[in-house]
Structure 1
Amino acid sequence: MDVKICGLRTPEAVAATAAAGASHIGLNFFPPSPRAVTPEAAKELAAHAPEGVKVVALVVDADDALFEAIWTNVHPDIFQLHGKESPDRVREIKARYGTQVMKVIRVADAADARSAEAYDRVADFILFDAKPPKDKDKLPGGNGLIFDWTSLQAYRGNTPWMLAGGLDAANVAEAIRVTGAKAVDTASGAEDAPGAKNPEKIRAFVSAALQAQ
């Protein structure tokens, strides 16, 4: 079971995530988010990630300049594309940096889940997250919203995928049971407030996910 904690902003949160046994740390580079960090600040955070823990850089329809700044400072293991990036844009990023790319698909129903198939043999991973309602679309993820997990039964792609969307220590085991997920991700489920990670909630989430497998 892979477990990712996203939106880390302090060395202490990175250390707590690694100590809990998470496989991935997520750094957010979308300025409207309360979890956002600069590429320069992220350089220090990534340096605290121990060997074997993958660093994921979350961007939303980022321009080339931001990709370059992130790559120069952080050299992430994975770019997580959380916007409306096309399959061609995914191919471009993979070719330019030679690193893995995770494409986020925002899900409200089965049709959304099926749309991920357009990224088969293009993205290295898919992340299924809840589609925000139109009145909350300023943040494409990290809103603590849960979608209908059974909608993922419609997905027929071959790309490995990760589950997100309102997951926390109380519901992650059920989410894994319903979906068969082999990788899970949370941001809000490990926080006291947006951007303020709680080490105990991090530990509880990772433990619940690992035990659920």
Structure 2
Amino acid sequence: MVSVRVKICGLSTGDTLAAALDAGADLVGFVHFPASPRHLGWAEARALAAAVRGRAERVVLLVDPDDATVAAALESVAPDLIQLHGRESPERVAAIRAMSGRPVMKALGIAEAADLARVADYAAADRLLLDAKPPRGAALPGGNGLAFDWSLLAGRPLPRGWMLSGGLRPGTVAEALARTGATAVDVSSGVETVPGAKDPALIAAFVAAVRAGAALGEAAGGLASAPRGV
């Protein structure tokens, strides 16, 4: 069976972290970005990360971090993966990967076909996360509850391990899997009742929908044109 990895991002309470782990999330994300309603200070992040106890991969999301912030993230979260969700250049991605000694996932905002041209520039990243480009003037680089046009991915070669994000919800993720062939998905606002407030029931429903959608895709033989990664 094709395994689709699930990341629940922006977790900020013990009960919602427990819901994500109990549902079988493969990755759990902690946001350190003061402008975000999902922001965690380092003490809060440390406590939540410790509770994961090897049940999932720990991801810390940073936005244009300086070296001191990266060092604090390593000390507090001990992440398995660093997610960069700002305007980090390919050179900065490579530098953070080298200084941290951890895999790095770079988020790229997608709104039109031209945005996918940047994929090749980020060969230094261990993974790419394709997210909806935020609208002009938006305060947040992600977590805005928007989806991009998935048809932009049709027939395009994408690096192995790429992850789909942007506007995914329990009711839409199966369609997203079928149309894009993604083997990893990320959700934040799609399992919230209000920005920053995760809902345990929605988390469980999202993970269940991913598993069901993956099983359905396997039974159907997948999509020949889907960019599953090269």
Aligned residue runs from structure 1 range 44-63, under 5 A:
44-63=47-66
Which amino acid letter does the alignment assign opposite residue 133 of structure 1? Answer: P
Which residue type is aligned with residue 211 of structure 2?
Answer: L
Kindly indicate whether the alpha-carbon contact (under 8 Å) linking 1:114 and 1:154 is maintained by their aligned counterparts in 2.
no
| Runs (4+) off by over 4 Å | none
Does the Cα contact within 8 Å between 2:61 and 2:83 map onto a contact in 1? yes
Match of 1:86 in 2: 89
Q: Residue in 2 aligned with 1:128?
A: 130
Aligned residues: 211
Aligned-residue CA RMSD (Å): 1.1
Q: Which runs of 5+ in 1 are unaligned?
A: none
Q: Which whole-Å CA distance do the structure 2 matches of 1:149 and 1:59 have between them?
A: 25
Counterpart-to-counterpart distance in 1, 2:148 and 2:158: 19
Q: Could you state the TM-score of these two structures normalised by the residue count of structure 1?
A: 0.96
Measure, in 2, the Cα distance between the counterparts of 1:89 and 1:159: 21
TM-score normalised by L of structure 2 = 0.89
Paired position in structure 2 for 1:168: 169
* 1:22 and 2:30 matched: no
Once the 2 structures are TM-superposed, how far is the Cα of residue 65 of structure 1 from its aligned partner?
A: 1.3
Following superposition, the deviation at residue 155 of structure 1 comes to 4.0
* Deviation digits for residues 9-53 of structure 1 (CA, Å, limit 9, x no counterpart): 011111110000100001001110000001221000001113240
CA-CA distance at 1:160 after TM superposition: 2.0
Work out which of the residue numbers 106, 109, 126 in structure 1 matches 2:112. 109
Identity %: 48
Higher Cα Rg: structure 1 or 2? 2
Cα separation, 2, equivalents of 1:34 and 1:141: 12
- 1:103 is paired with a residue whose SS is strand
Which residue number in structure 1 is paired with residue 6 of structure 2?
Answer: 3
User: Structure 2 CA distance, aligned partners of 1:143 and 1:52?
Assistant: 28
